[in-house]
Structure 1
């Protein structure tokens, strides 16, 4: 199939025009999303990758969940910091600019914004647990209760 045949198909009927426009819009959305992911400055980790990073590089895991959610269940070794008091100058992050820092929240949404702040402040190795604690649980990995 060549370009002229594709163009003829796209202009043949209103339904084909709608399909063609939808395909172009979907392609643009996918390209935009991938470029944004590459430029965000931090990497999303799957639960198994987080386990490896903690074991091999002694990553600092920061859980941004509310206190009561943290107490209900969190990743072993993670430290709880409320999003309202989190920032690059937080005492927990002192001296961690070159150390791997993994941000975790319940779903993975809050951690993304916090990761951008750390990258902007010069932190070198910033990660987010993709899907948050929910993804950790779906991978059948254990949570620790309490503080």
Structure 2
């Protein structure tokens, strides 16, 4: 036991780094186990859209949405998400696919949707960047331009 204490004292930065990394790994494990939404690739999202009635929610801002979005996607910007949530209340039992530019905002929206009582929430991994660049899937561009 004395050698362990001696090691910790002599290598306090290494010991601190070990504690921080361990804490972050445990936190990630708990977050993954407790999340109520699923992550889905763009290819699997297309398959899901083809096989059943799904709702696509795009949480990007107006200019990003206008530059190109998934056909029939409902635009609910994340900064107005709570106020606009009533637009999709009727789809609580249907699969809801959430997408943003690169996948980070969609995670926040996925958490909000599950908290609001949506039963089947899927976050599209990689967002529109992956949709367009990696998988070369089709998009629809809005005719309006916004400043």
TM-score (norm 1): 0.77
**What's 1:90 paired with?**
86
**What's 2:98 paired with?**
103
Q: Deviations over 1:67-120 (max 9, x none)?
A: 2211211123322223344347422x1321110111111122222222222211
Aligned residues: 140
Q: Deviations over 1:5-56 (max 9, x none)?
A: xx75x828824x5334423321221121121122132112221221222122
Contact 1:101 1:125 in 2 (8 A): yes
**What's 1:138 paired with?**
133
Alignment of 1:1-147 (within 5 A): 11=7, 14-15=10-11, 17-87=12-82, 89-91=85-87, 93-142=88-137, 143-146=139-142
Aligned equivalents of 1:145, 1:116: Cα separation in 2 = 28
Ranges in structure 2 where 5+ consecutive residues have no aligned partner:
none
Ranges in structure 1 where 5+ consecutive residues have no aligned partner:
none
SS at 1:113 equivalent: helix
Say what the alpha-carbon RMSD is for the aligned residues.
2.6
Aligned equivalents of 1:115, 1:139: Cα separation in 2 = 22
Aligned equivalents of 2:80, 2:9: Cα separation in 1 = 57
Aligned equivalents of 1:99, 1:77: Cα separation in 2 = 15
Contact 1:73 1:146 in 2 (8 A): yes
Aligned equivalents of 1:82, 1:89: Cα separation in 2 = 10
User: 1:11/1:51 Cα in 2 relative to 1: closer, same or farther (>3 Å)?
Assistant: same
